[in-house]
């Protein structure tokens, strides 16, 4: 059984710095065998939670990317119709009776396992990541709820498949659509916020252990300052890491003494035209001097 500190250590080993609240939620997910719903702005590392958790526990990561129109044949299971037709043709001349033929073509060999089915059939509990669940439509939520509440799937031709092990289920949502109350109630909840200065510094150092200490501090404070600006797309953690990598590659040690190239390097961080216009070269320089 996982406890909070254990989770924090495990995740830190694979470079994910979790705040105690999140670590506690993951420990609860293990203890209560309930899925964990993560909400928060894009780029705060929601998806990475599942990826890092799988890596740190040495478990398989099964990912279901949601999109509009996702249905059970793409998420749960589908029969392999082409193979079934072939099998029927091959069996035509055998003297098996109809029932035997039927049980043959509706056996597990002909079942295409999609992520949700696959996740409950693993011998070791995998981490099941249901990414951007808000992009799927309401109908899909109903299927999902059925699987997540009973951890079993019924296939009419085959019978009910019970979970061998209960997977760790992590759902992420960006709030493009309001999720149903039923799904919310089934899940533990955690709102993932942007990391504070200290945590972000730890994240940066976990990824680039050799980074110049002063530069790391400047990068983090600069990004933190940017997040307070009124931007269309606030820079996430990935942007911080990209930018730091770019600066390291350019042998930059102080961001305030870069002149024009400071603004140019911000293409790793400001990714829409309006945001680039909002943070012009002079303004970027001003922030850089302030955080130096």
Partner 1 sequence: MDDGAHLDFSTLDGCGGMPVHQRMLEFARELRANEFVIGSGDVAEAASALSGIDLLDRDEAHWVLRSVFCSNVRDWSKFEKIFHNFWLRHDVPSTVIAGDAASGTSKIMDVPNKPDPKGAFADLLESLAPGDGDEGAEASGTGRSEGASSAENTETADLAHLADTDELEKVRELASRLSKKIRYRRARRYRFGPKGKRLDLRRTMQKSVSSGGTPIKLYRRERREKPFKLVVLLDVSGSMDLHSTFFLRFMHAVLAEFEQAEAFAFHTRLVQLSTVLMERDPEKFADRLTLLAQGWSGGTKIGECLADFNAQYAKSILTSRSMVIIVSDGFDTGEPEHLAQEMAALKRRSKRLIWLNPLIGQNGYEPKAGGMAAALPHVDLFASAHDVESLAALENELARM
Give the footprint of partner 1 on this chain (CB under 8 A): 1, 3-4, 20-21, 24-25, 28, 31-32, 34, 36-37, 39, 68-69, 71, 73, 78-79, 81, 84-85, 88-89, 137, 139, 175-178, 181, 184-185, 187-191, 232, 274
Residue placing its CB nearer to partner 1 in the complex, 78 or 122: 78
Residue placing its CB nearer to partner 1 in the complex, 71 or 109: 71
In angstroms, give the least distance from the CB of 81 to partner 1: 4
Beta carbons within 10 angstroms of residue 105's beta carbon: 19
Is residue 123 within 8 Å of 164, Cβ to Cβ?
yes
In angstroms, give the least distance from the CB of 53 to partner 1: 15
In angstroms, give the least distance from the CB of 3 to partner 1: 7
Residue placing its CB nearer to partner 1 in the complex, 1 or 213: 1
In angstroms, give the least distance from the CB of 25 to partner 1: 4
Residue placing its CB nearer to partner 1 in the complex, 183 or 223: 183
Q: In whole angstroms, what is the distance from residue 213 CA to residue 211 CA?
A: 6
């Amino acid at each position: 059984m996982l406890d909070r500190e254990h989770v924090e250590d495990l995740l830190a080993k694979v470079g994910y710095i979790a705040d105690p609240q999140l670590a506690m939620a993951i420990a609860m997910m293990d203890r209560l065998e309930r899925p964990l719903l993560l909400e928060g702005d894009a780029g705060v590392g929601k998806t990475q939670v599942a990826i890092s958790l799988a890596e740190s526990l040495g478990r398989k990561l099964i990912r279901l990317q949601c999109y509009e129109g996702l249905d059970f044949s793409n998420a749960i299971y589908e029969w392999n119709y082409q193979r079934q037709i072939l099998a029927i043709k091959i069996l035509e001349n055998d003297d098996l009776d109809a029932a035997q033929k039927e049980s043959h073509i509706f056996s597990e060999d002909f079942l295409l396992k999609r992520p949700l089915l696959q996740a409950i059939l693993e011998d070791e509990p995998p981490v099941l990541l249901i990414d951007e669940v808000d992009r799927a439509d309401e109908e899909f939520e109903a299927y999902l709820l059925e699987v997540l509440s009973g951890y079993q799937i019924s296939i009419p031709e085959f019978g009910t498949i019970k979970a061998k092990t209960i997977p760790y289920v992590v759902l992420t949502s960006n709030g493009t659509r309001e999720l149903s109350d039923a799904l919310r109630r089934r899940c533990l909840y955690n709102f993932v916020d942007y990391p504070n200065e200290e945590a972000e510094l730890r994240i940066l150092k976990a990824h680039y252990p050799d980074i110049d200490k002063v530069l790391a501090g400047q990068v983090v404070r600069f990004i933190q300052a940017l997040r307070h600006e009124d931007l269309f797309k606030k820079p996430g953690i990935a942007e911080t890491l990209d930018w730091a990598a770019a600066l390291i590659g350019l042998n930059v040690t102080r961001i305030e003494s870069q002149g024009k190239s400071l603004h140019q390097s911000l293409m790793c961080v400001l990714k829409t035209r309006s945001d680039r216009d909002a943070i012009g070269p002079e303004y970027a320089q001003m922030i850089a001097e302030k955080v130096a």
